[in-house]
Each structure stands twice: as structure tokens, then as C-alpha cells.
Amino acid sequence: MNTVTPRCPMAVDATTLIDPAFYGRGTPHSLWADLRRDSPVRRQTLPDGRVFWSVAGYREVTEVLRDAMTYTSQRGTLLDLLGRGDPAGGSELVTTDPPRHTMLRIPLQRALAAKPVTAMRERFREIVCDMLAPLADGGVYDLAEHMRRLAMAVMGTVMDLPARDWSRLAELSMASIAPEDPRFGQPGAAGSVLRATHRELFAYFYDIVRYRRSHPGDDLISLLIGTVRDGRPLNQAEVVSNCYSLLIGGNVTTSQVPASTLTDLMGTATLDRWAANPSLLASGVEEAMRWATPTMNLMRYAVRDMKLAGQRVKADEAVVVWLASANRDENVFPDPFTFDIRRQPNKHLTFGIGPHYCVGHSVVRVTLKLFFAELFSRFTDLAAAGPGVRLHSHTISGWTALPVTAKARTLRSPVSY
């Protein structure tokens, strides 16, 4: 087991919570621990008068995410949209409430279920091996960069996007969730970065969807084109919007789990034990997802006055649930700041819970199992080769750069998945 002690406590204020640069200094687990202890549901007011509720406790987070009738997704699910509404509300999977959400979700859920994804496993394994190959050269390997390439290659495969476009799409994906990050966006210019990023991505998918309508295939975009909702096929704007959502969701989360996990485990006995015991691959991957929790928060809006943990939440007020806090809740996870490769049960909320449970969870799980299995079978002595650079984002927790080295080993065969 590996234990990481939370940082020193700090003041909990709304301005801090929405500042992307704040998260560039590290994941604020001590701040969230204070919230869970003192006020798991706290009203936050920004200097410009905007209000949102911070929900930090596991029980309260699950209550919000399960109840789509009380807490709507259609007005926006990202902090960047606080108080402004989401133009894609009601058309994207993530910004649609049941029952319309269910009609859109079912075909995607079938396509991304465990059995269809397992059929793609060999292709995913080839992708993983390609991404790990440069690590064998003995030089410095940017783990964060290669994991972004890995996630994009997986999404490019299931969406059947041209490989020549993957690099640019990965960059745009990061800019869309970290518009103030120095590497992917521009500090202080989130609005202009987002507008430019959205224009390019939506224009790209508009052309792809138009072509795919006359050249359908066995891929997610073709599936969306053939999806019927409210008695009619999805229109061009709806298909494009959902392509954007699927790309971003797959790219920016999967890539951060290996980076965040290995940052804390490199050089520890925990990593050695995990690597030496193939039977712990699955439980270790679940723990890695709890540990990393790449999507730090999700936003909802209350549709009526109600009480949450004794607090009166008014209709139309935003409610921000902190998944990264819930996944370290002491009331649910024994020794939550210990990475326990044998943790059972492990009811983490990394994929959410309720109607909006991540539709691509099987793709993520298969990809991560393949990655860690191949890494453990091919390499040893993973070590930092310099300081990493944290992502500046209040939405996604992770890294923009993470230089490491490793030693190649004789391939252990067969690799256990």
C-alpha cells in the first residue's frame, strides 16, 4: 500500500475553487477534506454575484447524480458555463435528461458495452504497445504526452477518424477543458480560446459527419447518424455535438489515470507488488481510477427548491459535485489516502453514478488494463526524470508533462489482462 498525506489545510472560498491555476499547484485534497468534515454542502458566492453549491461528501454527491429529475444536466455540466447555460443543452448525451437522454444513450451503450469492446481489444493492445515502445530506448519519455496519444488513438479507432488528424484533435481536446493552461490555451483568455477551439472542432466534425452519411461504417459516428430520437434521426447539429462530447470525454480522462497514478507510485513497494502479481491487475486499475479521479467535478442545476444535507438549495441554483472529494471520503473508503491494490469493495465515482454513468466505461477499463499489463510485463524501475507540469484546469486533474525513464525487461509471457 502507498499512502499520500493531504497538504496543509487552506481557506475554502469560491474564487479558489474555480481558479484553473490553483489546480496547477496540485490536487487540493486537504481543502476537500475540510469541506467534508465541516460542511459537505456549502453555498459559494463569487465576486460577480454568481452562486453555486459545493458538494463534497460521497453520500451527497451520489444523491445529486442519481436524481436527474431534481438536478438537471441540460443547463450545463461544466464550471466554465456557470450562470451562462449550455448551447448544447438538450442535444448532447451529457446535457440531456431522461427520458430523452435514455433514448440517445441506449445505442451508444450497446456499441460500447463490454462484449463489443472486448472484440476491439487486440487493436487496443497494438496501440498500447506502440505508445510504450519509445520507453524501451532508455531515454526520457514524456508519460503525459504519450498517454494523450494513447487515449486519442483509442478514440480515433472507435470513431474511425483519420490517423493524420489525431495529434491536432488531442491538442484541441485538451484546450477545450483547459483553456487557461499555458501549454494548451492562454492564461486569462479562456473565452477566446474556447471559441476558437469549438469552431475548429465543430467544423471538423461537420465535414466528417457529412462524409460519413454517404460512406457509413462500423463506428460510433455512423451509429450516431442512424440514431432515432423523438421519432426522427438526429440532425446534423446533434450528431456533430455528440461527436465533440464523445471525443473530449474519452481523450481527457483516460490519459490522466496512468500519469497521476504512476507519479505517486514510482519507486514504491506498492508498484512493485502490483507489477509482480497479475491477479491484482483489475483491482489495481479500479484503485487507480479512484486515486486519479481525472474529472474533478460535475455541475447540475436544481429544478425546484429542496434540501440537501440540511441545506436549502433553491430552484435554478447551480450544484457542483466534487467527484475527487467523494472518492477520498473517509466514511466510504477505509484509509482513503492509501493506494490499496486489493481494495474491495471499491465503489468509486470516477465514472459518475445514476443515469449519466459514463457510457464509455468499458473502453476506459479495457484500455487501462492493457496499458498496465503491458507496462508491467515489459518494463521495470520506472522513475521520474525531472519535474512534471500540472494541468491548469478546474475540471480535469492531471499533467501536461511528466518525464520518466524505465528499464526494459525480458517480456513476461503470457501477458495477463
Task: Measure the CA–CA gap between 330 and 36, rounded to whole angstroms.
Answer: 9
Say what the pLDDT of residue 274 is.
97
Residue 412's pLDDT is what?
Answer: 66
Indicate whether 339 pLDDT > 50: yes
pLDDT above 70 covers a percentage of the chain that reads 96
pLDDT on residue 415 = 63
Domains and their CATH numbers in the chain: 2-408 (1.10.630.10)
pTM for the model stands at 0.94
Q: What is the pLDDT of residue 305?
A: 97
pLDDT band at 8 (very low <50, low <70, confident <90, very high): very low
Q: Report pLDDT digits (tens) over 72-129.
A: 999 999 998 898 888 888 888 999 999 989 988 999 998 888 788 888 999 999 999 9
> What pLDDT sits at residue 416?
58
The 10s digit of each residue's pLDDT in 54-65 is: 999 999 999 999
Task: Check residue 9 and give its pLDDT.
Answer: 41
pLDDT exceeds 90 at position 220:
yes
> What would the 3-class secondary structure string for the chain be?
CEECCCCCCCCCCHHHHCCHHHHCCCCCHHHHHHHHHHCCEEEEECCCCCEEEEECCHHHHHHHHHCCCCEECCCCCCHHHCCCCCCCCCCCHHHCCCCHHHHHHHHHHHHCCHHHHHHCHHHHHHHHHHHHHHHHHCCCEEHHHHHHHHHHHHHHHHHCCCHHHHHHHHHHHHHHHCCCCCCCCCCCCHHHHHHHHHHHHHHHHHHHHHHHHHCCCCCHHHHHHCCEECCEECCHHHHHHHHHHHHHHHHHHHCHHHHHHHHHHCCCHHHHHHHHCHHHHHHHHHHHHHHHCCECEEEEEECCCEEECCEEECCCCEEEEEHHHHCCCCCCCCCCCEECCCCCCCCCCCCCCHHHCCCCHHHHHHHHHHHHHHHHHHEEEEEECCCCEECCCCCECCEEECEEEEEECCCCCCCCC
